[in-house]
Structure 1
Amino acid sequence: MDSNFELIREQQKVSWNAISEGWKKWDTMTMDFLKPIGDEIIRVIHPKNDDLVLDIASGTGEPGLTIATMVTNGRVVITDLADHMVDIARENAINKGLKNIETITCDACDLPFDDNTFDVISCRFGFMFFPDMLLAAKEMVRVLKPGGRIATSVWNTSDKNFWVTAIMGAINKNMQMPPAIAGAPGMFRCAEDGFMKDLFEEAGFKNISQTEIYGKLNCGTADMYWAFMNEVAGPVAAALCKADDALKAKIKSDVLDTIKQKYPEKVIAVDSNGLIIYAEK
């Protein structure tokens, strides 16, 4: 195991716990933003009524909560590394009246389940943040039943995800960011063409296919975009907490100018693009 594994895992846990309240606050906008990706994950795994489903890196609960409404004679186990996120997912399940949900805080690289347990695995935007992506993929192979289905999503290249680069570009322009730890998580870590296919093949998956899905972050205004990204995007929050008020104001001004130049219309919907990878055991 990589010597940086434990450090990366703890940094991820702290980071996602720190922004969990932001995710709760902006849950409606976030789930609307990510819904096309979740819908495609659900479409390709095609959950059956009695399936036992594992949703990994669930955050506030999706797409696991939606899947739970489809597997009324089955069950969905929702997991995340950040215990505060799991608490929110549990609260969301209760609010939706879902009884076939179980929530567990755990690491995707060390899943606390027996071999050949699950019919289906879903994992929306988790792989980029796992300390050891191959180990996580192998764990998923291990806990899937023979013939089991998996679908995951990762962000495509930066040029197709202005919703990230609009603000991170301004941060990188105005701040001297420390070099990342070797192999550290990042938004576009899995974007290279064929990366996830090769990873899944090495882990032992077969019948691998990939779909590209375009989306929009419907934030309404440039100011709303700024507020949303400050409270939901981990890398943004981590960077801006190191900036003083004057520097933060300069970055905000740059971001608002960038957004308004690209989207001069009054109602702003910022471009995104993700890849959905389907495979079988």
Structure 2
Amino acid sequence: MTNFDPVAFKNSTRNQWDNVAGHWNAWGPLLDRWLGPATETLLDMCGVQSGSTVLHIAGGSGQDALQSARRVGSDGFVLSTDFSENLTRLANDQFERAGLTQARATVMDGENLKTGDQRFDAVISRVGLIFFPDQKSSMKSQISALHKGGSVGALVYATPQECRFFSDPVGIIRKHANLPAPAPGLPGPFSLGAPGVIEDLFEAAGLGDIQTQKIEAPVVLETAQECLRFEQESFGALHQMLGGLDDEAKQAAWEEVEIALEAFETDTGFIGPCTMIAASGVKT
């Protein structure tokens, strides 16, 4: 914990997402198949409906906000925020192409939301809260942006054992780069996945009516090689972890990742194990 620099971490993470924004957006159809159904469950849990106002944090290039915008209709409003300018620009392009005038995107830090006097019926994060260095501050900021009776909702990875499409590659890359696993309390893909952790975070923030639901969300592609390409192109953190290695060592790591992913190939294609947790809580 003492060697962790949250400012440097956030700057590095922002740069990663700026660099991979175009690739992440290009994988939009996969993101919709993979995380779309779980997102619908989370929106149900948070009561998002026609006329709702919804704030998305760490909204990326807008895929989850598009789902909200279609739900709320022309009588509602959706604001998608992200600290990456490139992702935010892509989100606005998506909203415009879809003709969804009730949605817009703006650059904003999910740990320090600046929404002025505007209040929302729901604040949603999809695979974003897990990477915030100060999750408690983010929760406080999210709750401040809500109407009384509004809901905070988060979609997060479950445990590494339940999300091996990602945890196996991360473990291999950590081994090759000689990096330790993140200490408890530090941001990371599985920081809120252990039993009771996200419930405790929501309870400590003062939310009521806390609900969680586990959702099977396998990553379904044609081959393991296609999943490798998805992770190489879209998960900038993996490249950051390999940053200290030369090209030959990096290639060796990726080759081992591909072999590990091949374990999830079936007669009908690649099915990467992944379980998500949908969590919601109400501002009382």
**Deviations 1:143-163, CA, capped at 9 Å, x for gaps:** 100111221111100000011
Q: Report 1:1-281 matches (<5 A).
A: 4-72=5-73, 73-114=75-116, 117-177=119-179, 183-265=185-267, 267-281=269-283
- 2 CA distance for matches of 1:275 and 1:205? 17
- 1 CA distance for matches of 2:152 and 2:63? 15
- 1 CA distance for matches of 2:264 and 2:70? 39
Q: Which amino acid aligns with 2:273?
A: D
Deviation at 1:182, TM superposition (A): 8.2
TM-score (norm 1): 0.92
Deviation at 1:262, TM superposition (A): 3.9
Q: Which moved further from structure 2: 62-71 or 114-123?
A: 114-123
- 2 CA distance for matches of 1:5 and 1:54? 24
- Are 2:216 and 2:275, in contact at CA under 8 Å, matched by a contact in 1? yes
- Are 1:56 and 1:122, in contact at CA under 8 Å, matched by a contact in 2? yes
SS in 1 for 2:72: coil
- 2 CA distance for matches of 1:266 and 1:277? 32
- 2 CA distance for matches of 1:266 and 1:232? 24
Deviation at 1:109, TM superposition (A): 1.4
Q: Which amino acid aligns with 1:85?
A: L
Deviation at 1:39, TM superposition (A): 1.5
Q: How many residues align?
A: 280
SS in 2 for 1:148: strand
**Deviations 1:96-144, CA, capped at 9 Å, x for gaps:** 1110112111111111113671111111111111121001001111110
- 2 CA distance for matches of 1:279 and 1:232? 30
Percent identical pairs in the alignment equals: 24
SS in 2 for 1:207: strand
SS in 1 for 2:278: strand
- 2 CA distance for matches of 1:48 and 1:189? 30
Return 5+ residue gaps in structure 2 as ranges. none
SS in 2 for 1:79: strand
Q: Which amino acid aligns with 1:52?
A: T
- 2 CA distance for matches of 1:142 and 1:90? 25
Q: Structure 2 vs 1, CA of residues 48 and 253 (structure 1 numbering), >3 Å: closer, same or farther? A: closer
Deviation at 1:33, TM superposition (A): 1.5
Q: Structure 2 vs 1, CA of residues 237 and 31 (structure 1 numbering), >3 Å: closer, same or farther? A: farther
Deviation at 1:173, TM superposition (A): 2.8
SS in 2 for 1:19: helix
- 2 CA distance for matches of 1:239 and 1:47? 37
Deviation at 1:249, TM superposition (A): 2.8
RMSD between aligned residues: 2.1
Deviation at 1:181, TM superposition (A): 8.2
- Are 2:120 and 2:146, in contact at CA under 8 Å, matched by a contact in 1? yes
- 2 CA distance for matches of 1:257 and 1:28? 25
SS in 1 for 2:71: coil
TM-score (norm 2): 0.91
- 2 CA distance for matches of 1:179 and 1:195? 18
Q: Structure 2 vs 1, CA of residues 249 and 128 (structure 1 numbering), >3 Å: closer, same or farther? A: same
- 1 CA distance for matches of 2:181 and 2:267? 37
Deviation at 1:229, TM superposition (A): 0.5
Deviation at 1:9, TM superposition (A): 2.2
Q: Which amino acid aligns with 2:55?
A: L
Deviation at 1:71, TM superposition (A): 1.2
